[in-house]
Structure 1
Amino acid sequence: MKSNRSIVTWLLNIVKLIGLFALYQLAMIPTMMPAIRRGFSATAILVAGVASLVLLGLLIWWLVTIYRRQAPIVTNLSRPARPALTIVGLFILVELGNVLAGLIVKQTPENQVILDKVFTTSPVINVVLMAVLAPIVEELIFRGLMYRWLFPRVTNRVTFAVALVFASLLFAFAHTLSFSPALLAYLPIAVVLTFTYVWFNDIRYSIALHIINNSLAMVGMLTLLSR
């Protein structure tokens, strides 16, 4: 009976995570509308962007509140002695993974195509959305709450491997919504961010790494837009 109850609780937690991700997508709708439908005035685009900023801000406040109420995950990994140096090394690992994925995956993920269109409508607002707010939301959902709800104890290699694969695939799938080759484009960062969270057992480090990665991507997009 206890085993059945645990399975039901685990499945319900998956449903809750999906619901939180759906709220995240809903908060992004205002800023996506000008890219999907033409004819929006500059004022309407600005209002839509500000609306998404406010909605994401409220969502982050709620997610942080939920996250703080949960017990930290139990892990036998020792936190890095040099956090800053470790983050630099992990970032290099992310970039190497991105380069490798780019060589393997020739098609641009549909999610990235949409983001490119959204970015051009209001670059300044979307830099804040994509480089800062989106990483915070995604880390709280896909690392913080996911682990605390689904994998609260990561104390052996088997559990860690299962949790790493599950969390990374779910993160990648959420960005592609299909099992196409584009899924591979998101796996490097998903794996490294998941490992970062479990290793540090502190959501701030995976958030920082995610923000750095997205910020550099935004710099590249701004450079292309200015040409």
Structure 2
Amino acid sequence: MKLLKNLGWFLLALLSFLFIYGFIQVLATTSLALGASPYAVTLLYVALAGVYVYGIYKWYQKGPVHTEKSIFNRFIWLPALVWFLSLVVQFFLPNDPSVNQQIAIDLTLSQPLFSFFAVVIFAPLTEELIFRGMLARYLFPKQYNSKQTLIFLLVSSILFALIHFPGDVQQFLVYASLGFSLGLAYISRKGLVYSISLHALNNLVSFLMILML
């Protein structure tokens, strides 16, 4: 019964991400498409998204997450290494952007100011809160061994990949590997700062590469 209740709470958090934060994004991008001032839209977006992030973070803080020391969180450098290797592998894969990637590319080229806040700042904040923080908070609050932690990492990686709408297996694996590295970052420091920072770094690299190419 408790598991079903916790699943319901996580689904509620996920729905808030899809519909409330999704509405904020649609409102901003639609306003930009209609010719509204990028500065005004970005300011409004930052304000609304900031309120959403604050609310979810306060919700996340209401319950503890316990993670025992294991092979997955023993080394602080492991998440960064997995992320870096994932990034290197992508350079050798066929360049076929997913729907999510193409949207990010188009948005970055047409609205770089707004895109910076949406992609580099708020995407890491919201996605880490939901797919690492709230997932662990409700479905994996007690990780007493490596098996439980591995299940959390796999579920987190799969959900993270699916929410980015991969078009094929290759795109799914790229997103899942990124999600796995971010999950490692979350459990290695038993908090969101490392995973948010690594996620922001990943998105910043992509953002700068789009602008420079």
- Shorter-chain-normalised TM-score: which range? 0.7 to 0.9
Classify 1:49/1:30 alpha carbon distance in 2 versus 1 (closer, same or farther; 3 Å). Answer: farther
Q: Secondary structure at the match of 2:163?
A: helix
Q: Secondary structure at the match of 1:69?
A: coil
Q: Per-residue CA shift, 1:125-150, capped at 9, x if unaligned?
A: 32122111221111111111110111
1:1-227 pair list within 5 angstroms: 5-22=1-18, 23-33=20-30, 37=33, 40-41=34-35, 43-71=36-64, 73-77=65-69, 86=77, 90-101=79-90, 103-104=92-93, 106-176=95-165, 180-224=169-213
Unaligned regions of 5+ residues in structure 1, if any? none
Q: Per-residue CA shift, 1:152-199, capped at 9, x if unaligned?
A: 011112211211111110011011166654212211210011011112
Paired letter, 2:23 = L
CA distance in 2, matches of 1:94, 1:53: 27
Paired letter, 1:57 = G
Paired letter, 2:8 = L
Q: CA deviation at 1:76?
A: 1.3
Q: Does the aligned pair in 2 maintain the 1:109–1:185 contact within 8 Å?
A: no
Q: Percent identity?
A: 22
Classify 1:30/1:180 alpha carbon distance in 2 versus 1 (closer, same or farther; 3 Å). Answer: farther
| Structure (1 or 2) with the greater helix fraction | 1
CA distance in 1, matches of 2:146, 2:94: 29
CA distance in 1, matches of 2:182, 2:13: 18
Paired letter, 1:48 = V
TM-score by length of 2: 0.86
Q: Secondary structure at the match of 2:69?
A: coil
Q: Does the aligned pair in 2 maintain the 1:13–1:150 contact within 8 Å?
A: no
Q: Secondary structure at the match of 2:25?
A: helix
Classify 1:106/1:223 alpha carbon distance in 2 versus 1 (closer, same or farther; 3 Å). Answer: closer
Q: Does the aligned pair in 2 maintain the 1:173–1:179 contact within 8 Å?
A: no
Cα RMSD of the aligned pairs, angstroms, is 2.4
Unaligned regions of 5+ residues in structure 2, if any? none
Q: Secondary structure at the match of 1:176?
A: coil
Q: Secondary structure at the match of 2:97?
A: coil
Paired letter, 2:59 = I
Paired letter, 2:21 = Y
CA distance in 1, matches of 2:143, 2:168: 27
